[in-house]
Structure 1
Amino acid sequence: MRQGQQVNQGEGFHAEDFATLAQLESDSFWFRARNQLILWATKPLLRAGSSFCEIGCGTGFVIAALAKEMPLVKFSATELFGNALPFARKRVPSADFYEMDARDIPFRSEFDVVGTFDVLEHIQEDERVLAEIHKALKPQGKLVITVPQHPFMWSHQDERACHVRRYTRAEMTDKLKRAGFSVDLTTSFVSFLLPLMYMARRPDRVDSPEYDPAADLRLNPVVNAVMLLVMAIERQFIKVGVRFPFGGSLLLVATKF
């Protein structure tokens, strides 16, 4: 299957994987490092009394981190798969959760900030989702988004994850602009680890019948700690203004106009 081909009848995820994710996310260098970058990008956009909604919250790992750092913000989250929401509600009892399709968001001018983190790549109609998010945001509201980057990184691993695409920076910024956003910030991340990530996605590895899609979340603790340190160093560069052109993922902040 090639990039852009419909996956899994548009469902976009293996719902049975949520229990595994809920168990492994908190130790995984990838989820922990991504959370730290999301916190860095999102905290300046919110103040006491602000409203934030995460589209496609999964097990609630991201929104739990945000709520812990910003207890005076009103948090909401949506998820297509209802069996993920018990994990999310347990993590953030104070938030409002909705079982909802991101292609049909009922809110209008409701939120100061919306976040969606590694969700768009699962949805064929990604521009429709961006248009719906635009409607849900207040005037001058902010969108924080992460997506997997570089079509040349496409592999069977993406197919197993029910992705329909990996983005280029130009594609993502163009789609945001067409949806009515101006782009404030864009940077790649997982940049220092991109060569290792590329090697890990070799066809001879991920096409093997013995390949375990969750293996990357069960790394040796020493290797996991080293990866976390590398991501922390990378994040410090981003914080001081370095914007990486290449990386396994892409972070963007945009404003509704």
Structure 2
Amino acid sequence: MLRGIPAWAPELADQGGGFKAEYFAPLARLEGGNFWFRARNALVVWALRKYFPDPDSLLEVGCGTGYVLSGIARTCPDTQLVGSEIFIDGLSFAAERVKSASFVQMDARRIPYAEEFDVVAAFDVIEHIEEDEIVLRNFWQALKPGGGVLLTVPQHQWLWSETDNYACHVRRYNATELHAKLGRAGFDVVRSTSFTALLLPAMALSRRGGSSDKPFDPHAEFNIPDALNRALGAVLAIERQLVRMGINFPMGGSRLVVARKRGSNAVQQNTQP
């Protein structure tokens, strides 16, 4: 136990890889008011309700400050929620934010559950981990028969910028790569679409158009005028409505994937998206 929380990887609780513990405090302060985090939450909650209605149990891997889990808790008040995070500092914020959930300190490369959950979710997590295919196989193991995963990841390697370095990303995905990895881990993709698609040109300009002699400001994408924050949120609300209507965007700053566990974890030969 660490700070009253079960710890499965205590040796990594303060210095785990893939992120930095000091990032949690500014995230907890800023994410609730930022258009992108709010839009991602709304999309995640919609996808959960549509593809996994009324799950008995859900594990969020890499729950961070608990922002997404708080939205899920409001939507699924009867679901047994477990949030996991490698950093104990993140779990302190999450436990305060989502009092109805249980929390564990855990390394996603060594998930200690087998056929335990209806849904395993990871929102902008696996891009931080070199061994992402091990993590996906662990998701498969943790799921009950017929269960599924709900994932979001950053997309398009050509969007790589100093922001990705700061965030400790290992990669940005493309759909073919992610679908193939899910297939090899024993999943069938049910739905896959880009999001932040309508803002992709603006995102590309902001990531590539900065002056190289200006110091990098990791909080610049948070510190935008209120009117612009609202306008960008409105654009993503329109995009979300199009996704709900069945439109799958081929390109966008991020990707949402819903996949179901197959009955066998055998490696699949056909890995086409």
TM-score interval w.r.t. the shorter chain?
over 0.9
Distance 1:118 1:149 in 2: 10
- 8 Å contact kept, 2:34–2:222: yes
Select which of 28, 35, 44 maps to 1:22.
Answer: 28
Select which of 44, 48, 52 maps to 2:50.
Answer: 44
Select which of 147, 151, 154 maps to 1:148.
Answer: 154
Question: 1:210: Cα distance to partner?
Answer: 2.5
2:198 aligned partner = 192
RMSD: 1.4
* Aligned partner of residue 201 in structure 1, secondary structure: helix
Select which of 192, 195, 201 maps to 2:207.
Answer: 201
Give 1:151's aligned amino acid.
Q
Give 2:151's aligned amino acid.
I
| Deviations, residues 58-110 of structure 1 (Å, cap 9, x unaligned) | 00000000101111111001000100111100111111100000000000000
Give 2:29's aligned amino acid.
Q
Question: 1:160: Cα distance to partner?
Answer: 1.2
2:135 aligned partner = 129
Question: 1:211: Cα distance to partner?
Answer: 2.1
Q: 1:212 to 1:179 in 2, by over 3 A?
A: same
Select which of 137, 145, 149 maps to 1:139.
Answer: 145
| Deviations, residues 130-182 of structure 1 (Å, cap 9, x unaligned) | 00010000011110000001111112221111001000100000000000000
Q: 1:182 to 1:46 in 2, by over 3 A?
A: closer
- 8 Å contact kept, 1:45–1:113: no
- 8 Å contact kept, 2:16–2:86: no
Q: Given the two structures, how large is their TM-score scaled by the length of structure 1?
A: 0.93
1:202-217 aligned at under 5 Å gives the runs 202=208, 204-205=210-211, 207-217=212-222
1:57-206 aligned at under 5 Å gives the runs 57-202=63-208, 204-205=210-211
Distance 2:28 2:213 in 1: 26
Distance 1:166 1:10 in 2: 20
Please list every run of 5 or more consecutive structure 2 residues that lacks an aligned counterpart in the other structure: 1-14, 263-273
* Aligned partner of residue 252 in structure 1, secondary structure: strand
Q: Given the two structures, how large is their TM-score scaled by the length of structure 2?
A: 0.88
2:234 aligned partner = 229
Give 2:251's aligned amino acid.
F
Give 2:152's aligned amino acid.
T
